[in-house]
A and B are shown apart, each in its own frame.
Chain A
Amino acid sequence: MNEWAGAFADGLVTFDEELEAAFEAHLRDSSPLVFRVAYGVLRHRQDAEDVAQEAFARAYRKIGQLRDRDRFRAWLVRMTWRLAIDRWRAERRRISREESALTLTPPRTTDEAAEAHERAVLLWRAIDRLPEKLRVVVVLAAIEEHDTREVARLLEVPEGTVKSRLFKARKRLAEALRCLRHDSATR
């Protein structure tokens, strides 16, 4: 009986250690991706870090159910996106986020800073006009230069769907940018 209990306890310890090691590997590999996904929605460094940490904390509880590395990564990205969208909808400080996001890029000259600021504001506004399904594809494709296959794996949708959504997103993005530039020029 004692031998059986000892073996069972050893098995539990080994299982926990394996899970801990797997989680540490996920944390090391996926932290930048998860943070960037959150940042792509929130555009605020502290908020994005908070959402990314929350996503990892929730993922820690589910690590036993999702041991497949690719599926875990995809699941983590989708959960981070949802958490970030919820946070973004709950808070109404988007303008301050856009402004604070621009301060992360160090300006070289005053003219360059003003120009970069204007470009970024227009770009985020254009992205905000996209439907959520198109927006997530654009953001994920822009992060780490993911190709359509990688984006399809992260979203767990067919690659053709990603290509189709990306095409629509680019078209709408170009139209929105054109409209926004025209509006800002006429002011």
Chain B
Amino acid sequence: MTHEETRAAGLAESELARLLAISPSPDFAAKVRSRILQRANSRQRHFRWNVAAAAVLVSAAAFMAAGILRAPGIRTPAAAPVISAPAQWSRPLGAPGLTPAIRAREAAPGAVPTKGTTIVLVPPDAQRALQRVVDLAATGALSAGAAALPAPLTEAPTRPVAPIVVEELDVIEIAVSGAAMEDGVD
């Protein structure tokens, strides 16, 4: 740098220092605090809006999922209907798998069959018939194998069977000319 350049640069620097020797306004710090507070409030507001939007989205998704599952043709595994049996129907005596606790719970007034408990519903007539079969089998008067298998046929059926007569058919001869044959198929 020449002497002239050094002098010019020095003058420029001092001029620049003079131009930059200014201070911010007295309420500068207050404005900064106000801006920080505004940012914090804005962030809180945005956070709340985001949470609300997320909640709405989740609710909408759950609602749509429920609607799809309830559409015809789609069965939910947990929605098995509970059948209320007529009052006169009952479980056969000696049904296995019933603990005293279950019996007590089901005997309570207004109790409904609980999920997971096997219940066999038997009409009164069938229940009596089954009871008789069980009693006969228990006393030995009824053989289970004999009851299950049909009895063998020892004699011919007594009902007479009429013989089948087949009558002879009359055959009529049909005369067909050669021209007619040619007009038909080749």
Contact = CB atoms under 8 A, between A and B. Distances in A.
A114 interface: no
Contact of A120 (B13, B15, B23): B15
A42 to B, nearest CB: 12
Contacts of B13: 138, 141-142, 170
A36 interface: yes
A52 B28 contact: yes
A169 B12 CA distance: 11
A13 interface: no
Nearest to A127: B16
Interface string A146-187: 000000000000000000000100110111011000000000
Contact of A60 (B24, B29, B36): B36
Interface string B27-68: 011011001100100000000000000000000000000000
A36 B18 CA distance: 11
Interface residues of B, number: 25
Interface string A59-97: 010000000000000000000000000000000000000
B108 interface: no
A123 B19 contact: yes
A186 to B, nearest CB: 18
A139 interface: yes
B20 A39 contact: yes
A1 interface: no
B9 interface: yes
Contacts of B8: 173-174, 177-178
A147 to B, nearest CB: 13
A142 B17 contact: yes
Interface in B116-156: none
B35 A54 contact: yes
Contact of A171 (B9, B25, B36): B9
B35 A57 contact: yes
Contact of B31 (A53, A60, A174): A53
27 contacts: A27-B32, A31-B24, A32-B23, A35-B24, A36-B22, A39-B20, A49-B24, A53-B28, A53-B31, A54-B35, A60-B36, A119-B15, A120-B19, A123-B15, A123-B19, A138-B13, A138-B16, A139-B16, A141-B13, A142-B13, A170-B1, A171-B1, A171-B9, A174-B1, A174-B4, A177-B8, A178-B5
Q: Sorted from nearest, which 10 A-B pairs have the closest CB atoms? A: A170-B9, A174-B5, A35-B24, A142-B16, A174-B8, A142-B17, A56-B32, A174-B9, A57-B35, A53-B32
